[in-house]
Amino acid sequence: MKTGVKLSIHPSSFRLHPFSQSPCLILMKRLVIAIDGPSGVGKSSLGKALARRLGYLFIDSGAVYRAVARKALDEGVALDDGAALGRIARKAEVRLEGDPDHPRVFLDGRDVTAEIRLPETSHASSVVAVVAEVREAVVEKLREMGREVGVIMDGRDIGTKVFPAAHVKLFLEASSDVRARRRWEEERLRGRDAPFDQVSAELEERDRRDRNRAATPLVKADDAILIDTSAMTAEDVLDRVLEIVKSRS
């Protein structure tokens, strides 16, 4: 029996929303599109926009790690206990539902969409995500999902570990100041009134963990296309990526 985080995803729930004003771009073949990069570069925004345009599944791998972190906190598991965290990841049942703009995350049958965005969960997720046992458990199921249908997945090791043979690999980057500003504005929209300097420091700490972890550190795949989003609007990035996707279909 295979182990790992169980991801029950309903493909029809992630298709182009019927009221979307954007036409669906029909491709000749179903692609796997990997979007990697650090926090604050626009990975999720791009992934959701692409899913709407292509009628693809969008899978936020970060939501899975957040759910595992939430389970660890709820069960009182120490965040430095790799073996225990691995067991948590293997037995957790994570279900993703909704369209790209209104995703919902269920953990063991309970809706934790709001809970996984709490500051304590965000911090725990950044710690849990570097644990090798956790990453292996999550990666196994993420791979399974990409074998059936066209899929867009964002994360930090999608093109290097989860889908090393992805049809399209993108690596987004942006200046540290731009990324911190974007994350600070996101936090304010979520109701968290944290000082800019604090958010910037948290981002730097997350970068340090991601780039220096032993298990699949954040690096650009050799065949990934690098896109600097610092001076680009979300629409600019989407247009650029659509050109790339069409060239691979």
Per-residue pLDDT reduced to its tens digit, 153-197:
999 999 999 999 999 999 999 999 999 999 999 888 888 889 999
The number of beta carbons lying within 10 Å of the beta carbon of residue 16 is 18
Q: Is the pLDDT of residue 5 over 80?
A: no
Residue 12: pLDDT band (50, 70, 90) is: very low
The residue extents of the domains of the chain are: 6-248
Kind and range of the H or E run holding 59: strand 57-60
Count helices and strands (H / E) in the chain: 8, 9
What is the CATH T-level fold of the domain 6-248, as seen in this structure? Rossmann fold (3.40.50)
The mean per-residue pLDDT over the stretch 197-202 comes to 94
Strand order in the sheet with 57-60: 57-60, 151-155, 32-36, 168-173, 225-228
Least confident among 12-21, 83-92, 206-215: 12-21
pLDDT of the residue at 11: 37
> Using CA atoms, how far apart are residues 5 and 96, in angstroms rounded to an integer?
12
Mean pLDDT value of segment 62-87: 96
Core vs surface per residue 58-76: b (16+ CB within 10 A) or e: bbbbbbbbbbbbbbbbeee
pLDDT at 10 over 70: no
The predicted model gives 227-234 an average pLDDT of: 96
Give the C-alpha separation, 23 to 35, whole Å.
Answer: 22
Q: What is the pLDDT of residues 79-103, one digit of tens each?
A: 999 999 999 999 999 888 888 888 8
Residue 202: CB partners within 8 Å, gap ≥ 6?
123
Q: What is the DSSP letter of 209?
A: H
Residue 159 buriedness (CB in 10 A; 0-12 / 13-18 / 19+): buried
pLDDT digits (tens, 9 = 90+) for 18-37: 333 445 665 657 899 999 99
Hunting for tokens 């600019």 — which residue is that?
Answer: 236
- Amino acid identity, position 135: R
pTM, entire model: 0.80
* Res 6: pLDDT: 44
